[in-house]
A and B are shown apart, each in its own frame.
Chain A
């Protein structure tokens, strides 16, 4: 074991891991973080805490991670390259670890163009792969990116993202290989609606033996409505929502759409379970945390194993 991370223990024991996410509020609302996290207590192994997701200002992922940690859950601290240079990142990583936060996700980050501060400068001092390298060196060599020794090195279980649906497709397995070579311990994928394409990507992953070098958590999202399905299909860069999914959401009356979205999500998990190399699931129920328990229950992912 490289770390004390609960997620690492679950995965190392061979269980299908389950993570979900909690988007911090757009204001100093401590209680809202607590309320959201309570929906996930005992339901998931780690809770992703997003970092100014979609480039909108929110409570910092570090602060919200601390709150969630204090509720007894395991935060999965997300850090993007968009808002911080390497000094600020390392400072926050040490700070997080000082609070017992031992699991993180290294991301490039959505471009500021999509958020509420399109006039802001994007930082991108380092990229996500360089961040993975940096966090690994902090953990394994006990050094800062600049080379100096860290007294009290943070031991992070290092996550990275992968999007099997973005272009160029033929590069996507190689990009994963590069993230693993940099030091990624686990991967959370973009939301999977096109299972056939994901399967094809996993074939490439297995052909290179990458599923044995890191844990791959398959990302899923329940559609709340037909509108949400259409939005993801047409408006979110790098998302692949096949027409069948949109049509299926459209085939049920409006008041039944949420239920249909959950059913599709559960069925997707069942299909993904059969794919060799899938080590668990990342359930992104955006602003719908209360549904995660039902999804996990119906997908046979409860109770969570004790490790």
Chain B
């Protein structure tokens, strides 16, 4: 999923200060799962903002709404009846959702309420970790199902650097050495010899090196 974290309240207040009527939008997808911008967080942020603004003597009106999927134009259309009664929109969706709103409602200010962080997976309750960088040419088939692009601090494609110690990355004891994990997997699978194959220099065109990426599926595109 795409993970996100809520921005500090002070930053959000700065954004909405000039406005009276705010439409605060959540999204029912990834940001709900990582507890950053779902229906529940929309409710919490709405009261937080209202209280903070009241303290400064400003009474603002916040309308709450959570879309099924904010990155999908079909769902964004739902907002048409309510957009005119808002001076500005604050979105708790990931950056994709925020931009979808900005594209659809060209004359309406829209502000992000979360920092979109990474594509990750849940390690345990309340802990998410980066797993994929969307490089567009997946290496997992040759690296034992562990990604060195997303999980090695130096994106090394051919083995561990000299800083791997006791299974940990040199940057932090809290970070696993991706190559230790890869090596352990290759051993468990009896594929140690695969380590000797040199992974050639990556073609980053699929990974954003050639500019913004787009997928066009001729069979589905209208």
Contact = CB atoms under 8 A, between A and B. Distances in A.
Interface of A: 81-82, 86, 108-111, 113, 122, 124-130, 133-134, 145, 161-163, 165-168, 171, 174-175, 177-178, 181-182, 190, 237-238
SS class of chain B's interface: helix, strand, loop or mixed?
A: loop
B201 A167 contact: no
B200 interface: yes
B86 interface: no
B50 interface: no
B54 interface: no
Given A111-B153, A122-B154, A237-B170, A181 B164 contact: no
Contacts of A82: 154
B142 to A, nearest CB: 14
Given A81-B154, A108-B154, A122-B154, A130 B162 contact: no
Given A130-B200, A174-B195, A238 B164 contact: yes
Nearest to A164: B162
B158 A166 contact: no
Contacts of A163: 161-162
Q: Which of A127, A133, A182 has the most CB of B within 10 A?
A: A127
B201 A134 contact: yes
Interface in B153-182: 153-167, 170-172, 177, 179-180
Contacts of B82: none
Interface size class of B (residues with CB under 8 A): 20 to 34
Given A130-B201, A171-B183, A182-B198, A109 B154 contact: yes
A86 B159 CA distance: 19
B202 interface: yes
B160 A168 contact: yes
Q: Which of B156, B161, B163, B179 has the most CB of A within 10 A?
A: B161
Interface string B180-210: 1001000000001001101111101000000
A164 B198 CA distance: 20
13 contacts: A111-B154, A122-B155, A124-B155, A127-B154, A128-B158, A130-B199, A145-B201, A161-B162, A166-B164, A167-B167, A178-B158, A238-B164, A238-B165
Contact of A178 (B159, B161, B170): B159
Given A111-B153, A174-B196, A237 B201 contact: no
A175 B161 CA distance: 10
